[in-house]
Structure 1
């Protein structure tokens, strides 16, 4: 097993960056869904709120994982 701290720190940095990027993408998609859901005529509020809740929790969860992993 490779226990070189420099290589492990580099890998952790890459993983944390990817988690931040994925969290940002999920949050931006959630914002897009919110805007599209509010501006269009045919909308049902409970499913929209469920989707938005999952995107907010998922996006912030990914950002928190990236922060904890770094």
Structure 2
């Protein structure tokens, strides 16, 4: 799913099934705050080539998945 916002119903409850909402961001720190302030996600995926962003994500975001999911 693209064009998803934090307020969309799919982002308000636990998702079951082959659904993958994607939220793009222009302010990386704001995105991190939104994730940290919310409930712990069962999984989190970060698509970046920036090592600093990756390290910061792994340091501050707690999620139920494996860190190898970070791409």
Q: TM-score, normalised by structure 2?
A: 0.26
Greater relative contact order: 1 or 2 (C-alpha under 8 angstroms, separation 6 or more)? 1
Q: TM-score, normalised by structure 1?
A: 0.26
Name the structure with the higher helix share. Answer: 1
